[in-house]
Amino acid sequence: MRTIHVMEAKAGMIVTKDIYNSDGKVLVAKGVKLTERYIDRLLDFRVRLIEVHDETAPRHEEKLDLPLDPLALTKEEVELFVNRSIRKLIKTDAKKQDLMLLVEELFEVITNDSLVLEYLFKMKVIGDRTFFHTVQVAVLSVATGLQLELGKQELISLGKAALLYDIGKIFLPRDILTASDKYTDKQQTIMREHTISGYMLLQTKFDETIAAVALQHHERFDGSGYPRRVGNDQIHLFARIVAVADVYMALKSYRSYRPAYQPYEAIEYILGAGGYLFDSRVVSAFTEVCAIYSLGSVVQLNDGRAGIVSGINRSFSQRPEVTLMFDKQMLPTPPETVDLSHKPTSFISRVLHD
């Protein structure tokens, strides 16, 4: 047993003493083997010293040619990416206490469902873009559900639905999935079928609330969506939540036929569509938990200077605190911290690295 700084921690080390956050809640329990996800979690909560037993040294008597378990690998990858997405996408100072920790705890339950992992593995096979997109959408959806004060079982079902809402894409032709240009009318018709095929698949294995999200996530509040052009309360609440998170993440992604939206542009679109394309109550909850700019993002201001996001303003997250480190010519300068909420003529023009 030895005491080390968290920065020295390695996956495989065994925790020999419970690790707590500042509120006295256990972050990692005694006896748990550290993973990259747990180490990230400790760094997030600014834990410095931990007590561990190092079992990372290889044991020669162990067999190294054991067959790989695809579900175990999928679970580990989902957990790691969930943790990263929580830190990147959710406000660290959201009003709901310990929001990030609550989301993480819910996903620990959700990813224990072997059937969910099996379907996620199938989605990963057709491409990482769909897989990673759905995980990010699921994180934002569960955080939104917490803001809406859904119960624990509802949140677990919402999380599963948000991870599997695009499962119908596993039935699509490869050329549709990998198309770089905007879809033709024929391709668009084929693509839209994933909502129905996904619903038909999920309803044989899961309850209707989960299957309904696969069917309805492209429906819109005003009835202009597909496949059934239903609106308002005819769309399940879970589908209304996933629709907002799905569009937000899609807007921030580059497409060959359009550039990626800047975070503030994507959130402005969501806000503008509230009560029209999206349920305004869901939009309000979503914007309460969604971090437009994550801490550590490298950004450029409208005057050309660049730096990192060093603080988030709870009441005005579109205008964070930025520590400027480069001038207009991108040459290093002495650090200068600027609170954009107090600088009405200064704003972030683009994100250089998220």
Residue 64: pLDDT above 50? no
Percent of the chain with pLDDT over 70: 91
Task: Specify the length of the chain in residues.
Answer: 354
Res 155: pLDDT:
98
- Give me the mean pLDDT over the 157-182 stretch: 91
- The CATH number for 2-53, chosen from 3.90.105.10, 3.40.50.150, 1.10.3720.10, 3.40.50.300, is 3.90.105.10
pTM: 0.78
Q: Give the integer Cα–Cα distance in Å for 110 and 121.
A: 15
**Residue matched to tokens 């990482």:** 128
pLDDT digits (tens, 9 = 90+) for 200-242: 999 999 999 999 999 999 999 999 999 999 999 999 999 999 9
Chain-centroid distance, C-alpha 71: 20
- Give me the mean pLDDT over the 317-333 stretch: 90
The pairing of beta strand 19-20 with beta strand 298-301 = unpaired
Res 251: pLDDT:
95
| SS3 letters across 117-165 | HHHHHHHHHHCHHHHHHHHHHHHHHHHHHHHCCCCHHHHHHHHHHHHHC
- Which contiguous run of DSSP H or E holds residue 152? helix 152-164
Q: Give the integer Cα–Cα distance in Å for 337 and 330.
A: 17
Contacting residues for 274 by C-beta, under 8 A, at least 6 apart: 280, 283, 284
Least confident residue range of 25-29, 181-185, 187-191, 266-270: 25-29
Residue 192's pLDDT band (boundaries 50, 70, 90)?
A: very high
Phi and psi at 109, nearest 5°, equal: -75, -45
pLDDT digits (tens, 9 = 90+) for 85-103: 888 898 875 455 588 889 9
Q: Where are the domains of the chain?
A: 2-53, 70-289, 298-353
Q: What is the CATH number of domain 70-289?
A: 1.10.3210.10
Sheet of 49-53, strands arranged across = 2-5, 49-53, 14-15
The better pLDDT of the pair 43, 239 is held by 239
